[in-house]
């Protein structure tokens, strides 16, 4: 029994190996891009629009609103990153409805890659917003004594992100696999439905946490702006 799709390798050359995780990811990427292209190539700016365009607009605007509500004033700047995390994880998790499909998010390598992306994105956005010093200052908040704890927190939350997503999705797939061998009727379906909900919730949690981390990193510049306002 395979615990991770990484273990199924299709092609190998030296250290390069193409496994199920990568292949599934590419297929998901291709589907997402093609569907997006097909819908967005005939966008209409009238008041009457197609239902597909309406769905995409709802999705994009919903994500925009969520990002804004968490505290990032210019959501369009973060939409590419956070939106892609959400869409990829959600699409990856919801595709479990297809039989024989193994979500790439059930691979620790994928979740770790996403967590590392968040880990790297936080300082990038933080520095771009409040500069290197401004960003580094967030590590000594509220006092200098908190520096090691802040660094530990930074690392542990990245690990938590990766393991949370991996654990939830992998466990869902594992439970379905185990139930299939015990009770092949009905139960696996219920568990799959549960898996759909869990998958969507995990996608939401992952992207929201990423947003919160980025928002926390950009707080320095925001507090500066707030401090400057009364003087004006």
Partner 1 sequence: MQIDWFTLVAQVINFLVLMWLLRRYLYKPILKAIDERESKIVAQLKDAESKKKEALKEREEFNKKNEKFDSERDELMQKVIAESKEQKKKLTEKARLEANALKKKLDDEILANHAAQKNEIEENIQREVLEIARKTLADLSSVDLEKQMVRTFVAKVNQLGKEEKEKFVSTLASGKDPILVQSAFDLSKSEKSEIQKEVNGLTKKEYGFEFKVNPKLISGIELSANGYKLSWTISEYIHSFENELNDPIQDKKDQPSDKK
Distance, CA of 182 to CA of 175 (rounded, Å): 10
Distance, CA of 35 to CA of 40 (rounded, Å): 8
Find the shortest distance in angstroms from Cβ 159 to partner 1. 11
Contact status: 220 vs partner 1 (CB under 8 A):
no
* Contact with partner 1 (CB under 8 A) among 68, 94, 101, 109: 109
Find the shortest distance in angstroms from Cβ 192 to partner 1. 22
Cβ-based neighbours of 103, under 8 Å, separated by 6 or more: 5, 24, 92, 93, 95, 96, 169, 173, 199
Residue 112 φ/ψ, nearest 5 degrees? -65, -40
* Contact with partner 1 (CB under 8 A) among 27, 31, 57, 155: 57
Contact status: 113 vs partner 1 (CB under 8 A):
yes
Contact 220, 137 (CB under 8 A): yes
Contact status: 68 vs partner 1 (CB under 8 A):
no
How many helices, marked H, and strands, marked E, lie in the chain? 7, 2
**Residues that bind partner 1 in the complex, under the rule CB under 8 A:** 3-4, 6, 15-17, 19, 21-22, 25-26, 29, 32-33, 36-37, 40, 43-47, 49, 53, 56-57, 60-61, 76, 79-81, 83-85, 87-88, 104, 107-110, 112-114, 116-117
């Amino acid at each position: 029994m395979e615990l991770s799709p990484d273990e199924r390798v299709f092609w190998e050359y030296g250290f390069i190996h193409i496994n199920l995780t990568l292949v599934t990811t590419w297929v998901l990427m291709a589907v997402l891009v093609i569907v997006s292209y097909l819908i967005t190539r005939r966008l209409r700016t009238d008041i009457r629009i197609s239902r597909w365009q309406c769905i995409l607009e709802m999705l994009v605007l919903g994500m925009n609103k969520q990002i804004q509500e968490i505290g990032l004033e210019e959501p369009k700047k973060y939409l590419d990153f956070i939106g892609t995390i959400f869409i990829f994880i959600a699409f990856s998790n919801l595709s479990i409805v297809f039989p024989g499909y193994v979500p790439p998010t059930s691979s620790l390598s994928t979740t770790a890659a996403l967590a590392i992306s968040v880990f790297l994105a936080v300082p990038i956005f933080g520095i771009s917003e409040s500069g290197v010093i401004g960003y580094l200052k967030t590590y000594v908040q509220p006092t200098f004594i908190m520096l090691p704890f802040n660094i530990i927190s930074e690392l542990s939350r990245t690990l938590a992100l990766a393991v949370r997503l991996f654990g939830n999705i992998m466990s869902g797939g594992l439970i379905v696999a185990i139930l299939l061998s015990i009770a092949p009727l009905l139960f696996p379906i219920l568990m799959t439905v549960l898996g759909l909900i869990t998958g969507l919730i995990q996608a939401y949690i992952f992207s929201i946490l990423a947003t919160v981390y980025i928002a926390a990193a950009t707080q320095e510049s925001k507090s500066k702006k707030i401090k400057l306002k009364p003087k004006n």
